[in-house]
Amino acid sequence: MKACIFDGRTLRVNPRYLDPTPAPGEVRVCVRLAGVCRTDLEIVRGYMGFTGILGHEFVGTALEGRHEGRRVVGGINCVCGACDMCLANLPTHCRRRTVLGIAGRDGAFAEMLILPEANLHAVPDAVSDRQAVFAEPLAAAIQIGRQVPLVPGQKIVVLGDGRLGQLVAQVFQAWRLAPTVVGRSPAKLAILRALGIRGILADEARPAKEADVVAECTGAADGLAMAMAFVRPRGTIVLKSTVADTAGLALAPIVVDEITVVGSRCGPMADAVAMLARGEVNVERLITGEYALDDAPQALAAAAQAEAIKVLIRP
Protein backbone atom coordinates (compact mmCIF):
# COMPACT_ATOMS: atom_id res chain seq x y z
CA MET A 1 0.00 0.00 0.00
CA LYS A 2 0.97 3.65 -0.27
CA ALA A 3 1.92 5.39 2.98
CA CYS A 4 3.62 8.51 4.30
CA ILE A 5 6.61 7.45 6.43
CA PHE A 6 8.65 9.38 8.98
CA ASP A 7 12.01 7.69 9.67
CA GLY A 8 13.10 9.99 12.48
CA ARG A 9 14.70 12.49 10.13
CA THR A 10 12.79 12.76 6.87
CA LEU A 11 9.21 12.45 5.69
CA ARG A 12 8.51 10.60 2.46
CA VAL A 13 5.81 8.66 0.62
CA ASN A 14 6.46 4.96 0.14
CA PRO A 15 4.29 3.50 -2.67
CA ARG A 16 5.04 -0.09 -1.64
CA TYR A 17 4.75 -0.14 2.14
CA LEU A 18 3.75 -3.52 3.54
CA ASP A 19 -0.02 -3.95 3.99
CA PRO A 20 -0.92 -4.18 7.69
CA THR A 21 -1.96 -7.54 9.14
CA PRO A 22 -4.58 -7.33 11.90
CA ALA A 23 -4.07 -9.21 15.14
CA PRO A 24 -7.03 -11.01 16.76
CA GLY A 25 -9.70 -8.46 17.63
CA GLU A 26 -8.34 -5.91 15.17
CA VAL A 27 -9.92 -4.59 11.98
CA ARG A 28 -8.48 -3.25 8.73
CA VAL A 29 -9.81 0.16 7.79
CA CYS A 30 -9.53 1.64 4.31
CA VAL A 31 -8.72 5.30 4.93
CA ARG A 32 -11.03 7.75 3.14
CA LEU A 33 -9.69 10.99 4.61
CA ALA A 34 -7.11 11.94 7.25
CA GLY A 35 -6.37 15.18 9.07
CA VAL A 36 -3.03 16.77 9.94
CA CYS A 37 -2.74 17.63 13.63
CA ARG A 38 -0.31 19.80 15.57
CA THR A 39 0.95 16.58 17.17
CA ASP A 40 1.98 15.29 13.72
CA LEU A 41 4.02 18.43 13.20
CA GLU A 42 5.64 18.06 16.61
CA ILE A 43 6.52 14.41 15.92
CA VAL A 44 8.47 15.52 12.85
CA ARG A 45 10.34 17.88 15.20
CA GLY A 46 11.21 15.02 17.57
CA TYR A 47 8.24 14.69 19.93
CA MET A 48 7.70 11.11 21.21
CA GLY A 49 10.58 9.73 19.14
CA PHE A 50 8.07 8.06 16.83
CA THR A 51 8.98 6.47 13.50
CA GLY A 52 6.54 4.93 11.02
CA ILE A 53 3.30 6.09 9.42
CA LEU A 54 2.05 9.37 10.87
CA GLY A 55 -1.58 10.43 11.35
CA HIS A 56 -4.28 9.72 13.92
CA GLU A 57 -7.30 11.69 12.70
CA PHE A 58 -9.25 9.76 10.08
CA VAL A 59 -12.49 8.51 8.64
CA GLY A 60 -12.47 5.23 6.74
CA THR A 61 -14.38 2.14 5.74
CA ALA A 62 -14.15 -0.98 7.91
CA LEU A 63 -13.14 -4.02 5.89
CA GLU A 64 -14.35 -6.64 8.40
CA GLY A 65 -16.00 -6.98 11.80
CA ARG A 66 -19.37 -5.73 12.97
CA HIS A 67 -18.92 -2.45 11.05
CA GLU A 68 -17.88 -4.13 7.80
CA GLY A 69 -18.63 -1.90 4.83
CA ARG A 70 -19.55 1.08 7.01
CA ARG A 71 -17.75 4.34 7.50
CA VAL A 72 -15.97 4.55 10.85
CA VAL A 73 -13.79 6.79 12.99
CA GLY A 74 -11.62 5.44 15.75
CA GLY A 75 -10.19 6.08 19.18
CA ILE A 76 -6.43 6.20 18.92
CA ASN A 77 -5.39 4.44 22.15
CA CYS A 78 -4.98 0.67 21.77
CA VAL A 79 -4.94 -0.89 25.23
CA CYS A 80 -4.13 -4.17 26.96
CA GLY A 81 -7.23 -4.35 29.17
CA ALA A 82 -5.29 -6.01 31.98
CA CYS A 83 -2.93 -3.46 33.58
CA ASP A 84 -3.75 -1.40 36.68
CA MET A 85 -4.86 1.60 34.61
CA CYS A 86 -7.18 -0.47 32.45
CA LEU A 87 -8.66 -2.22 35.49
CA ALA A 88 -9.19 1.19 37.11
CA ASN A 89 -11.26 2.24 34.05
CA LEU A 90 -8.50 4.54 32.81
CA PRO A 91 -7.71 2.79 29.52
CA THR A 92 -6.31 5.87 27.78
CA HIS A 93 -3.47 5.61 30.33
CA CYS A 94 -2.87 1.90 29.75
CA ARG A 95 0.69 1.00 30.73
CA ARG A 96 1.16 -0.99 27.53
CA ARG A 97 -0.86 1.09 25.10
CA THR A 98 0.09 1.84 21.55
CA VAL A 99 -1.25 5.02 19.98
CA LEU A 100 -2.23 5.34 16.33
CA GLY A 101 0.44 7.27 14.45
CA ILE A 102 2.04 8.47 17.70
CA ALA A 103 3.50 5.56 19.69
CA GLY A 104 4.20 2.03 18.55
CA ARG A 105 1.48 1.80 15.88
CA ASP A 106 1.37 2.91 12.25
CA GLY A 107 -1.13 5.65 11.58
CA ALA A 108 -3.62 7.08 9.12
CA PHE A 109 -1.50 8.76 6.42
CA ALA A 110 -1.84 5.60 4.35
CA GLU A 111 -4.31 3.70 2.25
CA MET A 112 -5.07 1.36 5.15
CA LEU A 113 -4.69 1.16 8.92
CA ILE A 114 -5.58 -1.31 11.66
CA LEU A 115 -7.28 -0.70 14.99
CA PRO A 116 -8.99 -2.86 17.59
CA GLU A 117 -12.64 -3.32 16.65
CA ALA A 118 -13.58 -1.94 20.07
CA ASN A 119 -12.01 1.41 19.11
CA LEU A 120 -14.25 1.94 16.08
CA HIS A 121 -17.41 4.04 15.94
CA ALA A 122 -19.84 4.05 13.02
CA VAL A 123 -20.42 7.36 11.26
CA PRO A 124 -24.07 8.31 10.58
CA ASP A 125 -25.00 8.91 6.95
CA ALA A 126 -25.82 12.53 7.74
CA VAL A 127 -22.18 13.23 8.69
CA SER A 128 -19.88 13.80 5.70
CA ASP A 129 -16.29 12.55 5.50
CA ARG A 130 -15.04 16.12 5.83
CA GLN A 131 -17.00 16.44 9.06
CA ALA A 132 -16.21 12.98 10.42
CA VAL A 133 -12.45 13.49 10.12
CA PHE A 134 -12.78 16.03 12.95
CA ALA A 135 -14.15 13.45 15.40
CA GLU A 136 -10.86 12.78 17.18
CA PRO A 137 -9.86 16.41 17.87
CA LEU A 138 -13.48 17.23 18.69
CA ALA A 139 -13.45 14.44 21.27
CA ALA A 140 -10.30 15.99 22.76
CA ALA A 141 -12.18 19.30 23.09
CA ILE A 142 -15.14 17.58 24.76
CA GLN A 143 -12.77 15.93 27.25
CA ILE A 144 -12.24 19.26 29.02
CA GLY A 145 -15.82 19.13 30.30
CA ARG A 146 -15.19 15.67 31.74
CA GLN A 147 -12.22 16.91 33.75
CA VAL A 148 -13.17 20.42 34.85
CA PRO A 149 -16.50 21.73 36.21
CA LEU A 150 -17.81 24.22 33.66
CA VAL A 151 -20.93 26.28 34.32
CA PRO A 152 -22.53 29.32 32.65
CA GLY A 153 -21.34 32.55 34.18
CA GLN A 154 -17.71 31.54 34.53
CA LYS A 155 -15.08 33.69 32.89
CA ILE A 156 -13.49 31.30 30.40
CA VAL A 157 -10.54 32.06 28.12
CA VAL A 158 -9.32 29.87 25.26
CA LEU A 159 -5.73 30.56 24.25
CA GLY A 160 -5.09 29.76 20.60
CA ASP A 161 -7.18 30.26 17.46
CA GLY A 162 -5.86 27.24 15.56
CA ARG A 163 -7.27 23.77 14.98
CA LEU A 164 -7.99 22.82 18.58
CA GLY A 165 -8.75 26.27 19.93
CA GLN A 166 -11.49 26.68 17.32
CA LEU A 167 -13.10 23.37 18.31
CA VAL A 168 -12.81 24.00 22.05
CA ALA A 169 -14.48 27.39 21.64
CA GLN A 170 -17.35 25.89 19.62
CA VAL A 171 -17.85 23.10 22.16
CA PHE A 172 -17.98 25.63 24.98
CA GLN A 173 -20.50 27.69 23.02
CA ALA A 174 -22.65 24.59 22.48
CA TRP A 175 -22.60 24.09 26.25
CA ARG A 176 -23.99 27.63 26.68
CA LEU A 177 -20.75 29.01 28.01
CA ALA A 178 -19.30 32.31 26.79
CA PRO A 179 -15.61 31.80 25.99
CA THR A 180 -13.23 34.50 24.88
CA VAL A 181 -10.61 33.30 22.41
CA VAL A 182 -7.20 34.96 22.41
CA GLY A 183 -5.37 34.39 19.13
CA ARG A 184 -2.82 35.79 16.72
CA SER A 185 -4.69 35.65 13.41
CA PRO A 186 -7.37 38.18 12.45
CA ALA A 187 -8.68 35.74 9.82
CA LYS A 188 -9.04 32.88 12.28
CA LEU A 189 -10.67 35.09 14.90
CA ALA A 190 -13.09 36.31 12.21
CA ILE A 191 -14.30 32.71 11.78
CA LEU A 192 -15.13 32.57 15.48
CA ARG A 193 -16.80 35.97 15.50
CA ALA A 194 -19.04 34.85 12.61
CA LEU A 195 -20.22 32.06 14.93
CA GLY A 196 -20.95 34.51 17.73
CA ILE A 197 -17.79 33.75 19.73
CA ARG A 198 -15.74 36.62 21.13
CA GLY A 199 -12.18 36.77 19.89
CA ILE A 200 -9.35 39.20 20.57
CA LEU A 201 -5.81 39.49 19.25
CA ALA A 202 -3.08 38.50 21.68
CA ASP A 203 -1.30 41.81 21.11
CA GLU A 204 -4.44 43.65 22.20
CA ALA A 205 -5.32 41.41 25.15
CA ARG A 206 -4.84 42.75 28.65
CA PRO A 207 -4.40 39.70 30.89
CA ALA A 208 -5.43 40.54 34.45
CA LYS A 209 -5.50 37.16 36.23
CA GLU A 210 -9.32 37.14 36.20
CA ALA A 211 -10.30 34.00 34.28
CA ASP A 212 -11.88 31.11 36.20
CA VAL A 213 -10.76 28.62 33.54
CA VAL A 214 -8.10 28.96 30.84
CA ALA A 215 -7.94 26.34 28.09
CA GLU A 216 -4.40 26.47 26.68
CA CYS A 217 -4.51 25.40 23.01
CA THR A 218 -1.66 27.46 21.59
CA GLY A 219 0.61 24.61 20.49
CA ALA A 220 3.49 26.81 21.68
CA ALA A 221 6.19 26.24 24.28
CA ASP A 222 5.21 29.44 26.12
CA GLY A 223 1.51 28.54 26.29
CA LEU A 224 1.54 27.75 30.01
CA ALA A 225 3.24 31.04 30.83
CA MET A 226 0.59 32.85 28.82
CA ALA A 227 -2.18 30.96 30.61
CA MET A 228 -0.73 31.92 34.00
CA ALA A 229 -1.12 35.58 33.05
CA PHE A 230 -4.87 35.12 32.49
CA VAL A 231 -6.01 32.74 35.23
CA ARG A 232 -7.16 34.02 38.62
CA PRO A 233 -5.80 32.76 41.94
CA ARG A 234 -7.31 29.31 42.61
CA GLY A 235 -8.42 29.16 39.00
CA THR A 236 -7.83 26.29 36.59
CA ILE A 237 -5.55 25.95 33.59
CA VAL A 238 -6.29 23.11 31.14
CA LEU A 239 -3.22 22.21 29.09
CA LYS A 240 -3.90 20.83 25.62
CA SER A 241 -0.62 21.56 23.79
CA THR A 242 1.92 18.83 23.08
CA VAL A 243 5.19 20.38 21.97
CA ALA A 244 8.70 19.10 21.32
CA ASP A 245 10.43 22.26 22.55
CA THR A 246 10.28 23.53 26.09
CA ALA A 247 10.62 27.07 27.36
CA GLY A 248 12.13 28.32 30.61
CA LEU A 249 9.22 28.88 32.97
CA ALA A 250 8.92 30.18 36.50
CA LEU A 251 6.46 27.85 38.22
CA ALA A 252 6.34 29.69 41.54
CA PRO A 253 3.14 31.61 40.61
CA ILE A 254 1.29 28.28 40.36
CA VAL A 255 2.16 27.67 44.01
CA VAL A 256 1.61 31.23 45.20
CA ASP A 257 -1.77 31.59 43.44
CA GLU A 258 -2.77 27.96 44.16
CA ILE A 259 -3.60 27.35 40.52
CA THR A 260 -4.93 23.97 39.42
CA VAL A 261 -3.20 22.71 36.27
CA VAL A 262 -4.98 19.90 34.39
CA GLY A 263 -3.41 17.95 31.57
CA SER A 264 -6.04 16.96 29.01
CA ARG A 265 -5.68 14.61 26.07
CA CYS A 266 -8.07 12.21 24.32
CA GLY A 267 -11.82 12.28 24.75
CA PRO A 268 -15.08 10.43 24.06
CA MET A 269 -15.39 9.56 20.38
CA ALA A 270 -19.06 8.57 20.60
CA ASP A 271 -19.92 11.99 22.04
CA ALA A 272 -17.96 13.68 19.27
CA VAL A 273 -19.77 11.75 16.53
CA ALA A 274 -23.11 12.59 18.16
CA MET A 275 -22.21 16.28 18.35
CA LEU A 276 -21.32 16.31 14.65
CA ALA A 277 -24.57 14.53 13.80
CA ARG A 278 -26.57 17.15 15.71
CA GLY A 279 -24.81 19.96 13.85
CA GLU A 280 -23.60 21.60 17.06
CA VAL A 281 -20.19 22.50 15.63
CA ASN A 282 -19.25 23.95 12.26
CA VAL A 283 -16.08 22.28 11.01
CA GLU A 284 -16.24 22.82 7.24
CA ARG A 285 -15.01 26.39 7.51
CA LEU A 286 -11.93 25.15 9.40
CA ILE A 287 -10.60 23.23 6.37
CA THR A 288 -7.87 25.24 4.67
CA GLY A 289 -6.46 22.63 2.29
CA GLU A 290 -6.78 19.09 0.95
CA TYR A 291 -3.91 17.08 -0.56
CA ALA A 292 -3.48 13.69 -2.19
CA LEU A 293 -1.51 11.11 -0.23
CA ASP A 294 1.29 11.44 -2.80
CA ASP A 295 1.67 15.02 -1.60
CA ALA A 296 1.54 14.28 2.15
CA PRO A 297 4.88 16.01 2.92
CA GLN A 298 3.55 19.14 1.25
CA ALA A 299 0.36 18.79 3.29
CA LEU A 300 2.34 18.85 6.55
CA ALA A 301 4.32 21.84 5.32
CA ALA A 302 1.05 23.63 4.53
CA ALA A 303 -0.37 22.73 7.94
CA ALA A 304 2.64 24.35 9.60
CA GLN A 305 1.89 27.72 7.99
CA ALA A 306 0.57 30.39 10.32
CA GLU A 307 -2.78 30.86 8.58
CA ALA A 308 -3.58 27.13 8.22
CA ILE A 309 -6.24 25.60 10.42
CA LYS A 310 -7.02 22.06 9.25
CA VAL A 311 -5.27 20.41 6.32
CA LEU A 312 -6.61 17.07 5.03
CA ILE A 313 -4.97 14.17 3.21
CA ARG A 314 -6.97 11.97 0.86
CA PRO A 315 -5.48 8.55 -0.10
Q: Specify whether 111 is located in the same domain as 148.
A: no
- What gap in Å lies between CA 133 and CA 164, rounded to an integer? 13
**In total, how many domains does the chain have?**
2
- What gap in Å lies between CA 27 and CA 32, rounded to an integer? 15
Q: Specify whether 28 is located in the same domain as 106.
A: yes
pLDDT tens profile 35-82: 999 899 999 988 888 999 999 999 999 999 999 999 999 999 999 999
Q: Specify whether 290 is located in the same domain as 254.
A: no
Q: Specify whether 129 is located in the same domain as 188.
A: no
Q: Specify whether 78 is located in the same domain as 174.
A: no
Residue 5 banded pLDDT, cuts 50, 70, 90 = very high
Q: Specify whether 14 is located in the same domain as 111.
A: yes
Q: Specify whether 130 is located in the same domain as 145.
A: no
Inter-residue contact 29 to 53 (CB < 8 Å): no
| Mean pLDDT, residues 208-224 taken together | 91
Residue 181 domain boundaries? 141-263
Residue 232 counted as domain residue: yes
Q: Specify whether 130 is located in the same domain as 22.
A: yes
Residue 13 counted as domain residue: yes
Q: Specify whether 159 is located in the same domain as 193.
A: yes
Length of the chain: 315
pLDDT at 281 over 60: yes
pLDDT tens profile 69-80: 999 999 999 999
Residue 137 banded pLDDT, cuts 50, 70, 90 = very high
Q: Which of 227, 224, 174 is nearest to 205 (CA)?
A: 227
